[in-house]
Amino acid sequence: MIRKYSIYYASLAALIVFFQGIYINISFQSLVLRTVIGFCAFYILGNLLGVITIESLLEGQLQKKDAKNKKNLSKKAKSNTDKE
């Protein structure tokens, strides 16, 4: 979810930095540089957080699947021993 919207968060951060630069009245070159750096930093941060979140979610899903498979195997083994 975070990764999907990281470009929007980065754009919002860049706009905030841009208008802050206009408010404190810095030179145009410095303003553009700060805006670009702010956008890149927040975009990278959003992607990293998204990757970490996705990996942890996938890991949780795999653990649930493993637990379910073990439960099913134990049920099958129990039913096989009952049949014998």
pTM: 0.50
In a domain, 1, yes or no: no
Residue 11: which domain range?
6-83
Angle (nearest 5°) at CA 47 between 42 and 51:
150
pLDDT of residue 70: 72
Per-residue pLDDT of the chain (84 residues; tens, 9 = 90+): 556 667 777 888 888 888 888 888 878 888 888 888 888 888 888 777 766 666 666 666 667 777 776 777 677 666 666 655
Torsion angles phi and psi, residue 26, rounded to 5: -100, 170
Fill in the DSSP letter of residue 84.
Answer: -
pLDDT of residue 4: 65
pLDDT of residue 55: 62
pLDDT of residue 56: 66
